[in-house]
Each structure stands twice: as C-alpha cells, then as structure tokens.
C-alpha cells in the first residue's frame, strides 16, 4: 500500500471503514460473465459520442446534499441519454451506496457497470457481481494478487493511479485499464493537469480513463485531447437533470 504523505481526513475515514468491512451474508465466490468495456467504448466512438462512464453517486464527502431518487431510474436515464457505461457506488457510509443498488441497476441496463468502492481484500470482491471493479493503487497492499483474484472471477479491473510512480506499480501488476484521478487524496483538490502529466507515459495498448473534475464541455475536450479513452463523471451528472447533463457531456 502506497500511503506516503498524509491523506485527507475524509479519505482516512473511507480507508479505515474499507479495512473493517466484510461482505454481507455467505454468497460464496462471485463468478462474472462481464460485458465488454472495450466493445462499449468502440461502439460509442462509432456513434460519434464521447465514451462516458456516468456515475450513480447519491452523495460524497466532497459534495453537498444527497440524491434520494431511485438509483435504477437514474441509471436508466443516464443510459438512455448516451452513457457508454455506468459507475455505481457500493460504499455505504460515505457515499450512500450499496451492493443492492448495483445489483438492481445491472439487471436493468445493458451496458457495462463498474463497481465503485474501496476494495482492500480479496473477499470483498465477492460482495456483488459487476462488469468492472475499481482497485486504487494507494489503498492496496498486494495489487498484483488482488488484480489477479478479480480477473479470475471474471471482472475487468480499473486500476486507479494519481502519479507516475503509481502508474508504474499498476503496469507492473498487469493492469490494462488505468484510471487517472485528478483529485489529490491528500488535499482533495482537483487539477486536470494531473491526467495530462500521467497520460503521455501510458502504453498505447492500455485503456485510459480520466477521473474527477470533469464538469464542462471544455473539460471533456481537454481530457480527450490529452489521450483519454473514456471519462468517469459523477458530480457533474448527479448535480441537476442527469439526462440533460449526460447528453451535454457525451455530445461535447
């Protein structure tokens, strides 16, 4: 686990809770027949749309208020409005998510669904089936082992990094889908230049996702020009009319 430097108090709380959490019940080992993320990205590009991972995020430590809409209705609206894939929060304490929300959403839509959570141990992978799971380099002790365990279950894995050192660790572990988080976990400040600094050294055969801070059409263009194959957007979609916000970004 790469925890050099202080984490913001909210992030420390998230990580502490993640270490304590265990899957509910005794569902056993998950086996997933995943919908192809790469195929979904290719379809979006063929349709002339920006490949967008739209996030169902009821709340977060960096946003005000909470969306109490039915998460399935939100997800369906995002897909109808052009979202290439969905990201669904399953972290309950800080983001208001749940595995049950993801299960219901995945049954209701036909696009790939990412489980957005803070997974630190192998058994946490078995909480719910999804098409992709998120692993954050800074939070994981044995990235290669956890990545392998996820892929053995059928998951595609989005490995999140924030700088060049974390990128090298992700690539050495075998990651083929890399997310670059523009939000600094120490200060929670957002800088789109983070993606621009990391993207040039990412291998061409790697799928590259820009995360956090993407709000306007200009931001979309900036990230795509810097090499993003897809964009993960939460707050800018959840703040207001999710259908209108999704259409604005996929057609930027």
DSSP code string of 87-131: EEE--HHHH---HHHHHHHHHH-SS-EEEES---SGGGGGGS--S
Residue 116 annotated in active site? yes
User: What's the half-sphere exposure (Cβ side, CA atoms, 13 Å) at 171?
Assistant: 16
Q: Which position has the token pair 């929300």? A: 101
Query: Pick the catalytic residue: 181, 182, 196, 245?
Result: 181
Residue 87 annotated in active site: no
101 is catalytic: no
- Who's near 2: CB < 8 A, 6+ residues apart? 137, 138, 165, 166, 169
Rounded to a whole number of angstroms, the CA Rg of the chain reads 17
Active site residue 43: no
Catalytic residue among 87, 116, 169, 182: 116
SS3 24: coil
SS3 state of residue 28 = coil
- Residue whose entry in the numeric block shows the structure tokens 């490949």: 51
| From 160, 166, 169, 196, active-site residue | 160
For this structure, is 123 an active site residue?
no
- What the block records as the tokens of 4 is 């050099």
The H or E element containing residue 86 is strand 85-89
**Neighbour tally for 57: CB within 10 Å:** 24
Per the annotation, the verdict on 211 as an active-site residue is yes
In the residue annotation, 57 being an active-site residue is answered as yes
Positions marked active-site:
55, 57, 116, 160, 181, 211-212
């Amino acid at each position: 686990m790469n925890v050099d430097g202080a984490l913001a108090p909210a992030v420390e709380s998230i990580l502490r809770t993640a270490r304590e959490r265990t899957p509910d019940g005794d569902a056993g080992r998950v086996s997933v027949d995943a919908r192809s993320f790469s195929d979904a990205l290719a379809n979006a590009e063929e349709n002339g749309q920006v490949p967008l991972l739209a996030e169902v995020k009821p709340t977060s430590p960096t946003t005000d208020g909470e969306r109490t809409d039915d998460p399935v209705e939100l997800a369906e609206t995002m897909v109808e409005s052009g979202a290439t894939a969905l990201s669904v929060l399953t972290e309950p304490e800080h983001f208001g998510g749940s595995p049950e929300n993801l299960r219901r959403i995945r049954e209701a839509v036909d696009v790939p669904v990412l489980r957005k959570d803070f997974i630190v141990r192998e058994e946490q992978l078995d909480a719910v089936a999804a098409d992709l799971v998120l692993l954050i380099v800074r939070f994981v002790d044995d990235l290669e082992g956890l990545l392998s365990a996820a892929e053995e279950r059928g998951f595609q894995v989005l490995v999140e990094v924030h700088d060049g050192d974390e990128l090298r660790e992700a690539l050495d572990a075998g990651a083929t889908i890399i997310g670059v988080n523009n939000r600094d976990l120490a200060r929670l400040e957002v800088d789109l230049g983070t993606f621009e600094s990391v993207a040039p050294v990412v291998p061409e055969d790697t799928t590259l996702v820009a995360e956090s801070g993407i709000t306007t059409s200009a931001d979309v263009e900036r990230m795509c020009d810097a090499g993003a194959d897809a964009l993960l957007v939460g707050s800018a979609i959840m703040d207001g009319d999710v259908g209108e916000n999704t259409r604005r970004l996929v057609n930027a």
